[in-house]
Structure 1
Amino acid sequence: MIHDITRSFTSKLDHWKHRIEQGNPASFSTLDSALTNGNLGYDLKIQIKTHLNGLKAEFIKYFPDIDEKRESWKFVRSPFSCEVADIFADAQEEFLELKFDSTARDNFKELDLQAFWAKYLPVYPRISTQALRVLVMFGSTLVAIKSKYRNKLEVEGDLRCIVWYKTSH
């Protein structure tokens, strides 16, 4: 989920920086085609590496504890395959009720994440609130960005979660 996406992106930044250090601008097609002799100058390499380092630093600043949160957020995308130890202490008993709720399991297969967690908020308020906070924070737009629909982002699901969260608190 989010951890996978963020780790992938930061790894790509490192990969791009390594390629630039080697003088290979292939990751940047516009830059690659704009170079007249096909070689990156020293100053341009430094500028690109500085930019990539800054981008990575900003990204990490925006998601400072993404590695620490990875395990505790796993339940959002697969609540029926998580263990109770993966869940924060004050919602573990509620999580166990959800995990063995066969109707919820069937609904999880049929609904998207936002709809599932919003539906079960009245039944499992602690665990659902935590899940919706994660979904509101990151939303489905990251999924849309990685899909074939990346040119037309649709934030209706995110907005629905935000509106729900604001009206319920």
Structure 2
Amino acid sequence: MPNACWVHCFLHRQALAAKACPQEYSQVLNIAIKIVNSIKGKALQTRLFRITCEDMGALHQNLLYHTEVRWLSKGKVLAGIMELRAELLIYLQQVKSEYSEFICDPEFLLKLAFLSDLFDHLNILNKSLQGRNENVITAKDKIRDFTKKIDLWSSSLNQNNFDAFSSTQYFTEEVGCEVNIKTYITGMKMVLDNLKEDLCHYFSEQEISENTGQRWIINPFLNAAINEASLPNKLKENLLEISADGMLHLEFKFSNLDTFWLMRKTEYPELTTEALKCLIPFATSYLCKLTFSSMAQIKVYKEIA
């Protein structure tokens, strides 16, 4: 199959890259997960913790259970601990848990807050890579943009700027002088550096380099994209004809990318073929999982019926 194309799922590679973590932060992560799973793993403990939260008037009464299969669920798990840390401390002290010392340790909580913020960013990236209209070109752009954000965050940390890490900023303001934040910036930057290094490992520089030669697929009405298009002159002429057509421009605004190019198949077969080479490959396994989910719902419905 000379025209076959293989694409490793962007979601799987992004999740693998997110697993990298220096030892001191990895230990914080593991302890946090053990705390949650010690409560969520037993019905009685879960009920007692919920009662504690209700008595204290907490907005939420439950922690999310962590599963290794859905590795990025750590983001929600850590956010839950930070939100309910006061209730969690009281509960752990009541049951005389060895983990209570960690919840009242400002250093532990600072690292936990940073990890919570970072995994929140990763979850946002993960969700943005999913969807019916996602393609390889847009997925590459999002991964490349995320690596640039990491550089920005690292640079901001040098200036004690935590705008990108809201939980960390809130916690440092809350504890005040109890923690010297400057002593932890090096470790935070190391976490970011490791993440970027692993992203570059799973997504090569060549793979996520600027898609300048393919931008015409995303927007065939952009003059700069037409000039940069890596196409023979004959196909560039076809592209110029499309860009000059006002009706097609209007159609482009109100239709998705796949449909627009498929509608050009009859009039511009060669140009459409070039566009579909980038649009047809799945960037992620999202559509496959969506199908499995639909099948599971049908199966459950039939069993109930």
Q: Deviations over 1:122-148 (max 9, x none)?
A: 543443344334445686x9xxxxxxx
Q: Deviations over 1:52-90 (max 9, x none)?
A: 122223444425236754320220122133476522244
Distance 1:64 1:22, change over 3 A: same
Query: Identical aligned pairs, as a percentage?
Result: 23
Number of equivalences: 141
Please identify, of 28-37 and 67-76, the stretch whose mean Cα deviation from structure 2 is larger.
67-76
Instruction: Choose from 29, 32, 47 the match for 2:187.
Output: 47
2:222 maps to which residue? 81
Instruction: Choose from 174, 192, 196 the match for 1:56.
Output: 196
Matched, 1:17 2:154: yes
Query: Aligned runs of 1:79-118 on 2, under 5 Å?
Result: 79-82=220-223, 85-90=227-232, 92-101=233-242, 102=245, 104-118=248-262
Q: CA deviation at 1:7?
A: 5.6
For the residues of structure 1 that align with 2:210 and 2:270, how far apart are their CA atoms? 17
For the residues of structure 2 that align with 1:68 and 1:19, how far apart are their CA atoms? 24
Q: CA RMSD in A?
A: 3.6
2:32 maps to which residue? none
Q: Scaled by the length of structure 1, what TM-score is found?
A: 0.59
Matched, 1:127 2:276: no
Q: Scaled by the length of structure 2, what TM-score is found?
A: 0.37
Distance 1:41 1:123, change over 3 A: same
Q: CA deviation at 1:30?
A: 0.9
For the residues of structure 2 that align with 1:15 and 1:9, how far apart are their CA atoms? 10
Pair member with larger Rg: 2
Q: Which runs of 5+ in 1 are unaligned?
A: 142-154, 160-169
DSSP-derived class of the 1:100 partner: helix
1:144 maps to which residue? none
Q: CA deviation at 1:49?
A: 0.7
Matched-pair contact (CA < 8 Å) for 1:98–1:104: no
Q: Which runs of 5+ in 2 are unaligned?
A: 1-136, 291-305
Q: CA deviation at 1:118?
A: 2.8
